Structure 1
Amino acid sequence: MTARRRPTMKDVARHAGVSVSTVSYVLNDSGPVATDRRNRVLDAIRVLEYSPNESARNLKRRSASTIGMVVPELANQFFAMVTEGVQRAASARDVLVVLVVPDASQQPEESQTRLLRSQRVDGVIYLSGTGTAPASLYDLARSGPVLLVDEQIPGLELPAIVCDSRRGAREVAAHVLEMGHRRLAVIGGPAALWTSQQRLAGYREALAGAGIDPDQVPVHNGDYRQASGSKLARQALCETSGPRPTALLCANDLMAIGAIEACRELGLRVPQDVSIVGFDDLPLSSLLTPRLTSVRQPAHDMGFQAGSALLDQLEGTTVEPIPPLPVSVELRDSVCPPQEET
């Protein structure tokens, strides 16, 4: 069988009895076309089953056809929700998203950015897993727009969509302190990550405001994964020279879940023996036993705004700085006043 030739704009114009420019005006809504001519063009498109060559169209009008999204992993629901938001923004403008996740066999972020260069994407949304910028990211930024999401990288002046992590951490820590806790420990994220630093700064502000020396509160840095939270909670609860902490401030929900798991294995009740809070407010956080008190970040909105801002930039629109998106503290069952020691 002979493959059917794909119809062109010239074929549509010939069938409709109009010029190619008229067909272009109808397809792109870029010029005035009389109603009868417009209807003839639309009829020809239906009859011939014509579909535009998007790559060619995008080259001519200099708009995006493909953007890249670098994300550390998708096992973390927060990253998945941000990615979904980016996809929704891109889909609304008929733009494809090339999703890149780490290659464990290489330096992850270097392999990610190399792949994006090879795909010739129009722009990149970058969600860092380390807080540092690989050399290849600078190459991407020189060749096209790069936008950061949920992150700021020192020394790399790029637009970023972030949440007010510092305020959220301050408010959730203040709630724990208002419940009467004075012996606390922090299960923090990667020390180099901007989000980790912001959350730690918020915790420290709440501690100082309650008259507690922040330097006297131990900080255990993990990697935002559940296993890390479990390991560090054990350290915080068992490897202390004084009385054990009555509350753990966890810098994300996955580590908080790991901390709850560690408490159960140690025979400690949550929240009666140890109160625990998280950050992100993943969908599963309200389904845990006990339900987890956490800071809600609008993950989907962050992704959608990041995607929209990058596409605006690619279309030549000046993107104004976007202030940090608001967060909220969701109070649930994982915090209660410290129990009297027997």
Structure 2
Amino acid sequence: MTPAATPSSKRPGIAQVAKLAGVAVGTVSNVLNHPDRVSPRTRTKVEQIIKELGYVPNASARALNKGRSTLIGAIFFDISNPFFADSSHAIDQVARSRGATMIYTGTEQLPEVERAALKRFVDLGVDAIVVCSTGGNDDALEQLVDLGIPVLAFAQRSESAKIPAVCIDDQRGMELIAAHLLGLGHESFCFISEHRQAIQHRDRLAGFHRALAAQGSADGCLQLNIASGPTWMEGYREVQQFIATNQQLPDCFVCLNDYTAFGASKALTEAGLVPGIDVAVTGYDDLTFTELLATPLTTIHQPITAMADYAANALLDVVEGRATDLVGKVFAPELIVRQSTVPILHDNE
């Protein structure tokens, strides 16, 4: 037995087999499930490592993998958000059209849950991973890349040079929101953000502040940090509490996403205020429901279908050998102006 293959107290996984054999995880998966797809020399090498490690594939993973060609794992930090529901549906459509299968999970924006999900996906023998990371797991994601598993960041940029991304320019998106509000005469803002600060959240906040600073209005922005995540319920609670504890409201509630803006609008309406007239509200994502609200929402459009199509096809092209390198893409944000933002008149006008 080679020193590198000495068993540890932990059960060996498929990633360990791949690393010691010097092949991709997908190759190990093929040795186990489709040996005819692997050259005899590589198959013998992998089988020897499996024997030395005493690796035993998870039974449920073997059952899932048997007979399939390509498996894409998707990890999103909030699957309750319609944005990720729409994204996973679009990715799945592309995967199925190309004979592949997609499995997905959510992390509730907890890094430890995300890390555990990555391990489960590796044990299942996924061929590629698309992830909207909650942050803090770049090392784990880079290890997967080093093992030969293509990893693509989705809906936000990656801070790792090894992981390309498919996203829109979030800083530019919030700059468009800020410029629009300033142009309407708004002077005071409440930015509803999220305390864990995933990359997209940090970029959106930075873009908004930068645009205000460029116009000398940086002092007019208050930030509310949502405790448990940017959901409609948290947006509702934050604005409800703000109304109850503050005599003066800002000109506009600038929300991290449409989901939060929906909750903010509900709280304003219940307080007898009309979004867009008494207080402006903006969102981000341009989800389907935003134009169906009592006061249609001004927001930033993300081309979800185009982004998902690109991401799924890019991953599958690499897995199937149609492309050598995984290349990301940054889409341009588009400001969608609706009735939730209107020109404002101050007392001195």
Fold match (TM-score > 0.5) = yes
1:324 has 2:325 as partner: no
For 1:28-107, list aligned pairs within 5 A.
56=34, 59-60=37-38, 65-102=70-107, 107=112
Distance 1:255 1:103, change over 3 A: closer
Question: For 1:218, which of 201, 219, 222 is the aligned residue?
Answer: 222
For 1:115-264, list aligned pairs within 5 A.
115-128=120-133, 130-133=134-137, 136-143=140-147, 144-155=149-160, 157-212=162-217, 214-222=218-226, 223-240=229-246, 243-264=248-269
Distance in structure 2 (CA, Å) of the matches to 1:58 and 1:221:
54
> Aligned letter for 1:328?
E
Aligned residues with identical type, % of pairs? 27
Q: Is the 8 A contact 1:58 1:65 kept in 2?
A: no
More displaced 10-residue stretch of structure 1: 195-204 or 93-102: 93-102
More displaced 10-residue stretch of structure 1: 285-294 or 90-99: 90-99
Distance in structure 2 (CA, Å) of the matches to 1:252 and 1:330:
13
Distance in structure 1 (CA, Å) of the matches to 2:272 and 2:182:
24
Distance in structure 2 (CA, Å) of the matches to 1:104 and 1:177:
32
Q: Deviations over 1:90-117 (max 9, x none)?
A: 2232111122234899942133112212
Name 2:314's counterpart in structure 1: 309
Q: Deviations over 1:4-26 (max 9, x none)?
A: xxxxxxxxxxxxxxxxxxxxxxx
> Aligned letter for 1:304?
D
Distance 1:290 1:75, change over 3 A: same
Q: Secondary structure at the match of 1:273?
A: coil
> Aligned letter for 1:194?
I
Distance in structure 1 (CA, Å) of the matches to 2:36 and 2:239:
52
Q: Secondary structure at the match of 2:335?
A: strand
Distance in structure 1 (CA, Å) of the matches to 2:97 and 2:308:
13
Question: For 2:304, which of 299, 309, 314 is the aligned residue?
Answer: 299
Name 1:338's counterpart in structure 2: 344
Distance in structure 2 (CA, Å) of the matches to 1:140 and 1:190:
28
Q: Is the 8 A contact 2:152 2:328 kept in 1?
A: no
Q: Is the 8 A contact 1:66 1:97 kept in 2?
A: yes
Q: Any unmatched runs of 5+ in structure 1?
A: 1-54
> Aligned letter for 2:333?
V
> Aligned letter for 1:140?
L
Q: Deviations over 1:19-62 (max 9, x none)?
A: xxxxxxxxxxxxxxxxxxxxxxxxxxxxxxxxxxxx63993599
Distance in structure 2 (CA, Å) of the matches to 1:148 and 1:332:
30
> Aligned letter for 1:308?
N
Q: Secondary structure at the match of 2:330?
A: coil
Question: For 2:278, which of 273, 284, 288 is the aligned residue?
Answer: 273
Distance 1:103 1:225, change over 3 A: closer
Distance in structure 2 (CA, Å) of the matches to 1:149 and 1:166:
16
More displaced 10-residue stretch of structure 1: 198-207 or 278-287: 198-207
Name 1:39's counterpart in structure 2: none
Q: Any unmatched runs of 5+ in structure 2?
A: 1-32, 43-67
Q: Is the 8 A contact 2:268 2:274 kept in 1?
A: yes
Q: Secondary structure at the match of 2:179?
A: helix
Distance in structure 1 (CA, Å) of the matches to 2:110 and 2:169:
34
Tell me by how many angstroms 1:89 deviates. Answer: 2.3
Tell me by how many angstroms 1:190 deviates. Answer: 4.5
Q: Secondary structure at the match of 1:295?
A: strand
Distance 1:79 1:57, change over 3 A: farther
Q: Secondary structure at the match of 1:221?
A: strand
Name 2:20's counterpart in structure 1: none
Alignment size in residue pairs = 285
Distance 1:105 1:178, change over 3 A: closer
Distance 1:300 1:256, change over 3 A: same
